[in-house]
Amino acid sequence: MQTYSRLNKISNIKYNLTGFFRFNKIKILVLIFIAVLGIFTGIFTATKSGINITNFQGYNLYIYADGSVFSFDVFFYRMLSHITVLVIISISSYSIFLLPLSYILFFYRAYLIGLNCTFLIILFGFSGIFTSVIIIIPCQIIITFIFIIYFCLMINRAVEKKRFGICNKPKFINIFLITLLILTLLNFIETMLLILLNARTIFVI
């Protein structure tokens, strides 16, 4: 009986997830396209910037690249960034005129990811590749995906509230806090990996 109940719960979760992605596939694909475009723009900008190991101090990047400001403080800087993104997505979801803010935000975050990883590779070679491929890119892909899901949930709530005048499920505060908790965990993991592996980063995303 317990086995049947467990299988039923798993089946329900799978069904709900499949339904969610099917219902929001257009929004998800658009945001993925924007993110990919942002990453490639960041890569292009970094490669065309002319920054290299011999002149990067002139661009005020050495403060970050030498690790002098990289401590656990970065965790809180990134947390503030995540909260800001959640707030902007939440506000922009309630008006079609504000909605472009979310798209710009997704593009900008992806742009910084591409810029950051490319600078790391240019400045630190294999070490930069290791940091980018093993730590930054996987963590940032997951974080971006969490933001995409949050965006879809916020848009769906706003549409339902506009259509029916009320939207009780899921409650905004629950979505916000659960998303923030997941982002905090991912932020902690990324920060600890960077510290434990003595890895360097340039931008706090």
Long-range CB pairs of 148-151, under 8 A, 24+ apart, other chains included: 148/27, 148/28, 148/31, 148/32, 148/106, 149/179, 150/86, 150/89, 150/175, 150/179, 151/27, 151/31, 151/89, 151/93, 151/102, 151/106
pLDDT in tens, 31-40: 999 999 999 9
pLDDT in tens, 142-172: 999 999 999 998 888 887 767 666 666 678 8
pLDDT band at 62 (very low <50, low <70, confident <90, very high): very low
What is the Cα–Cα distance from 144 to 151, expressed in whole angstroms?
10
What is the Cα–Cα distance from 193 to 147, expressed in whole angstroms?
21
pLDDT on residue 157:
82
pTM of the model: 0.83
CB atoms within 10 A of CB 104: 14
Tokens 């879809």 sit on residue: 152
pLDDT band at 63 (very low <50, low <70, confident <90, very high): very low
pLDDT in tens, 5-27: 555 556 666 666 777 788 888 99
